[in-house]
């Protein structure tokens, strides 16, 4: 290990508000993302265990955060972890600090017995050496179904505290949106992602199902996620929203929507990588819903 003089390694430090703000500074400086938005949404995922190097002035120099990301995969609940917020300040790169935090986060996941570890990256080469393999994601496109049954719907507003409290309760106790691959919870990242998406629409159907959707560039319908105790058919969703687009794009495996679309490989910058003990993979095409990205 090269010299770490003047730096202090800290584990599981989110209970210290000063250290959390220091991580927010690192995220702002490296990614231009303001994670303090989470403070107004109820805080970061309470399962988070962060590993970081800090300097004597308290600045966060390097970090990687593990959190619990239980998944449904092919009808089975998988105890998985996610890794996020991986970065090193530019003037400290190339000294092995990232290697330190990656190893600490993975040792934590292994000691805790997680069956799978997932991350999203634009640099897969960084993680292959640690046992991660890329998995291809798809979106699903096809003619929109007609003839569904309309149910009562009302728009939720991100700025409305009562609406967000209701959404939070539904996120705490949701059905997986797909049996092939879906997060079981992922509440904090849903709320965070929603706050960053000006075109996102959140519509409450039947008082207990939230539809996260947006209009596509061509006027088509894009379904990003469904949060509720029941997953309705796509035809009923469109009838309830009182829209009749010609095409629909669904950003997760649509096995619970009574509709099929053509699976199109995802062409985005970020690659989903998995590290598993048993080669666990969905058998068919799938995607992590955009609202669950981390
Ligand atoms: C990626 C990043 C965290 C690496 O930090 P670092 O301090 O240079 O990392 P380390 O010195 O610990 O290097 C770890 C290893 O990764 C390798 N590595 C570093 N950057 C790499 C890259 N872009 N592509 C492939 N390998 C890379 C190093 O060569 C080193 O390999 P070695 O152990 O065989 O020498 C840093 O460049 C960064 O913060 N970048 C911007 C944010 C980012 O990309 N975060 C990760 C995205 S999920």
DSSP state of 78: E
- H or E element: which one contains 67? strand 60-68
pLDDT score of 82 more than 60: yes
**How far apart are alpha carbons 225 and 220 in whole angstroms?**
16
Confidence band for 3, pLDDT divided at 50, 70 and 90:
confident
What secondary structure does DSSP assign to 228-244, as a single string?
Answer: ESS---HHHHHHHHT--
pLDDT of 218 reads: 83
pLDDT at 217: 82
Q: What pLDDT is recorded for position 264?
A: 98
Cβ of 94 less than 6 Å from ligand 1: yes
**Average pLDDT across the chain, whole number:** 97
Decide if pLDDT at 2 tops 80.
Answer: no
Residues 6+ apart with CB under 8 A from 161: none
User: Is the C-beta atom of 82 inside 6 A of ligand 1?
Assistant: no
pLDDT at 1 (0 to 100): 53
CATH-assigned architecture of domain 139-265: 3-Layer(aba) Sandwich (3.40)
Which CATH code of 3.40.50.720, 3.10.520.10, 3.40.50.150, 3.40.630.30 fits the domain covering 7-137+267-292? 3.40.630.30
Asked whether 87 lines ligand 1 (CB < 6 A), one says yes
- Would 7-137+267-292 and 139-265 be classified into the same CATH topology? yes
Please report which helix (H) or strand (E) contains residue 252, including its range.
Answer: none
Q: Where are the domains of the chain?
A: 7-137+267-292, 139-265
The pLDDT tens digits of the residues spanning 201-215 come to: 999 999 999 999 999
Q: Which residue among 61, 82, 99 is best mutated to probe the pocket of ligand 1, counting the most ligand atoms within 8 A of its Cβ?
A: 99
Give per-residue pLDDT as tens, 116-169: 999 999 999 999 999 999 999 999 999 999 999 999 999 999 999 999 999 999
Give the rounded percent of residues in the chain with a pLDDT score beyond 70.
99
For residue 109, give every residue at least 6 positions away whose Cβ sits within 8 Å of its Cβ, in sequence order, or none: 66, 81, 83, 117
């Amino acid at each position: 290990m090269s010299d770490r003089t003047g730096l202090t390694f800290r584990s599981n430090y989110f209970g210290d508000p000063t250290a959390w703000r220091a991580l927010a500074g690192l995220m702002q400086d490296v990614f231009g993302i303001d994670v303090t938005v989470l403070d107004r949404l109820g805080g970061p995922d309470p399962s988070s265990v962060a590993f970081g190097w800090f300097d004597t002035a308290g600045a966060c120099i390097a970090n990687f955060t593990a959190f619990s990301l239980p998944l449904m995969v092919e009808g089975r609940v998988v105890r998985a972890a996610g890794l996020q917020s991986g970065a090193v300040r530019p003037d400290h790169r190339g000294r092995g600090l990232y290697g330190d935090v990656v190893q600490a986060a993975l040792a934590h996941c292994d000691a805790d017995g997680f069956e799978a570890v997932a991350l999203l990256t634009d640099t897969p080469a960084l993680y292959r050496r640690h046992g991660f393999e890329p998995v291809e994601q798809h979106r699903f496109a096809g003619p929109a179904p007609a003839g569904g049954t309309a149910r009562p719907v009302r728009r939720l507003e991100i700025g409305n505290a009562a609406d967000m409290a209701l959404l939070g309760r539904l996120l705490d106790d949701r059905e997986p949106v797909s049996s092939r691959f879906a997060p079981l919870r992922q509440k904090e990242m849903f709320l965070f992602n929603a706050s960053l998406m000006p075109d996102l629409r959140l519509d409450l159907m039947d008082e207990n199902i939230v539809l996260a959707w947006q209009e596509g560039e061509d006027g088509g319908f894009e379904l990003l996620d469904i949060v509720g105790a029941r997953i309705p058919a796509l035809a009923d969703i469109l009838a309830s929203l009182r829209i009749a687009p010609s095409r629909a794009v669904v950003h997760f495996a649509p096995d619970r929507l009574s509709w099929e679309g053509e699976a199109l490989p995802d062409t985005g910058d970020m690659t989903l990588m998995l590290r598993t003990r048993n080669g666990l993979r969905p058998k068919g095409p799938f995607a992590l819903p955009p609202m669950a990205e981390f």
